[in-house]
Amino acid sequence: MRLCAARHVAKLEQRPIYCGAKAAASIAAFRSGGTMVQTLTKKPGTKVDFEAIFDGLPTPLLLMDRDFNIAALNQAFLDSTKLTRESLIGKDVFTAFPAGQESRRLLQESFERTRDQGVVDVLPLVSYAHEVNGHREERLWSCTHLPVRDRNGRVAYLVKSAQDITELYPSLKAGEELCPPLQEAMEHGASLEGWTVLEGAAHREVLNQTLMATVQHLRRLVMQAPSFMCVLRGPDLVFELVNTAFSMLTGGRELIGKTLLEGLPELKSQELLDILKKTFDSGEVHVARKARLVVRDGEDGESDEHFVDFVAQPIVCAKSGVTGIFIEGNDVTDHVRTQEQQALLIRELHHRVKNTLAAVQGILTTSANTAETFEEFQKGFSARIAALAKMHALMSEQLDQQISFGHLLTQELGPYSDEHGLRIRLSGPSIDLPSHIAVPLGMAVHELAANAVRHGALASEEGRIEVGWSLAERGGKPELICEWKEFAGRAVPPPCRDGFGSLLLNRVLAQQIGADVKVEFAPDGLRLRMAVPLQL
């Protein structure tokens, strides 16, 4: 009889049927395997009275809205509770039927799973009070909760089917909320084969319910798993199951009942679609590592790039062949990004080492060519290598491999400042220098400071240095403007030959970073102006 009724309902559902709460409950009852007294037929031009069907079903059924308020009840439910529709319609189900703390928790969690996940949820065994002739009596129930969707696919109602199975458990005492061993078995999906008080059909009933509990337990594990999982059915790849991790990956969209491209249209031009079609057609497992996946954050959100490891496993039926695909995987985007950053740093390190060796070679050659004695060469070379090492130490402390120009000046001129801050004056905005500019510019500042100590303003107690800088623009690109001024020091005549500092300022800076340097040997102290492009 169930099969016959289900077939007729299937014929009726070839076109959408949108009806009231009782009609929705009736269709849901058929889907859950509910019985019917007579076969349902529909002739052309006739209407199906779904409310009469719902009311006539022998299984006690209760319909709730999304807030768990009672919307409808059938006659079998009223007969089993000895209550009236008027006393129940519109009431919260827990107000109409108070439950113990543990029973309420189990029921509410089951209701929420059905409402929020759109799945059929089964509670094989729950203790619930039942009023008989004015006396409150604890009874044992097997409950099934089914979702009923509206025309937009959203769960609008919940159908509760409840069967009184107290007689199957004669060993339970009246008033016990739940027998602890049986509760533990049901919660963990354990077999009740050793439950000796049940025999024959009753024994098989409990084993069947235990199997349902096991299925529900496994489903919860899948839903809560940290890996993303989904099940696609048929050659059109229709979403049958989506766990929480997969829903988060795809922006929380409603996917159940939709094809892959209906739910995730952005996959149309991506490799994943071809992989899944090939898996379905060939029946072969596909394993992917760091596969690129671009999905939107919700229906209208921005596209995000992900990298995933996943396994696409065909679901094979002995008679029908491949019927679907099970997908399990992990989002490894953070790991891939970390590897990319590591590779970038390694390339930067190689580039930095190469430039450093070239700088050392240049310092060695120029120091040797400009020194008049070996002692002068040794002293100058050692000081310049130390300055270079200091610059690299400063750069390595910064994750972004940049250093502010003000910090660079402070490192070189700070040791010569007095307690009142009059001898060294620095003023300018915060400007970060990338490594390829900071290193040669730092060497230039070192040479200027060293020359000031030997020959210029810092060679006398009255001398002072002012350095001011600003950010300008030339040709649409940012440019650092720096002015170095020395006061009250020794008069410095123009050098009769180019030393290391002159070569560095006039040649190296121009060649390496495109700086424009102008030096003036004024009577009251050295004047220098540098214009340094901040972008190559």
For the stretch 124-146, pLDDT in tens is 778 777 666 667 777 788 888 99
Give the model confidence (pLDDT) of 85-108 as tens digits. Answer: 999 999 999 998 888 888 889 899
Side-chain-side CA neighbours of 179 within 13 Å: the count stands at 18
Q: Identify the band that residue 373 occupies on the pLDDT scale cut at 50, 70 and 90.
A: confident
Q: Which amino acid is at 467?
A: V
pLDDT in tens, 308-364: 999 999 999 878 889 999 999 999 999 998 888 888 778 766 766 766 666 676 667
For residue range 44-88, list pLDDT tens digits in order: 556 677 888 888 888 889 999 999 999 999 998 888 888 889 999
Q: Which residues does 310 contact at the CB level (< 8 Å), separation at least 6?
A: 228, 287, 288, 291, 327, 328, 329, 330
Q: What is residue 464's DSSP assignment? A: E
Tokens of 86: 């008027």
**Residue 60 to residues 22, 90, 231, 363: CA-CA distances in angstroms?**
13, 18, 33, 94
Distance CA 329, CA 337 (A): 18
CB 256 within 8 A of CB 118: yes
Which residues, 6 or more positions from 95, have their beta carbon under 8 angstroms from its beta carbon? none
Q: Supply the pLDDT for residue 67.
A: 95
Cα separation of the two ends of the chain: 82
Q: Dihedral of CA 432/435/440/446: which sign?
A: positive
Residue 262's contacts (CB-CB under 8 Å, 6 or more residues apart) are: none
Report the mean per-residue pLDDT for the chain: 77
Residue 4 confidence (pLDDT) above 50 = no
Residue 375 has pLDDT above 60, yes or no: yes
The pLDDT, as a whole number, for residue 38 is: 37
Contact 345, 353 (CB under 8 A): no
pLDDT of residue 287: 94
Q: 70-73 and 61-65 as β-strands: parallel, antiparallel, unpaired? A: antiparallel
pLDDT of residue 134: 65
pLDDT computed for residue 133 by the predictor: 63
With tokens 């009311």, the residue in question is 55
Q: Is it the case that residue 29 has pLDDT exceeding 80? A: no
Helix or strand run (H / E) with residue 241: strand 238-242
- Rounded CA-CA distance 426/411 in Å is 12
Q: What is the pTM of this model?
A: 0.41
CB atoms within 10 A of CB 101: 8
pLDDT of 213 > 90? The answer is: no
518, 529 Cβ separation under 8 angstroms: yes
Using DSSP's 3-state secondary structure scheme, residue 319 falls into coil
Mind listing the domains of the chain with CATH numbers?
Answer: 2-224 (3.30.450.20), 231-331 (3.30.450.20), 336-533 (3.30.565.10)
What per-residue confidence (pLDDT) applies to 359?
64
Pairing mode, strands 303-317 and 321-331: antiparallel
Q: For residue 181, what pLDDT band results from cuts at 50, 70 and 90?
A: very low
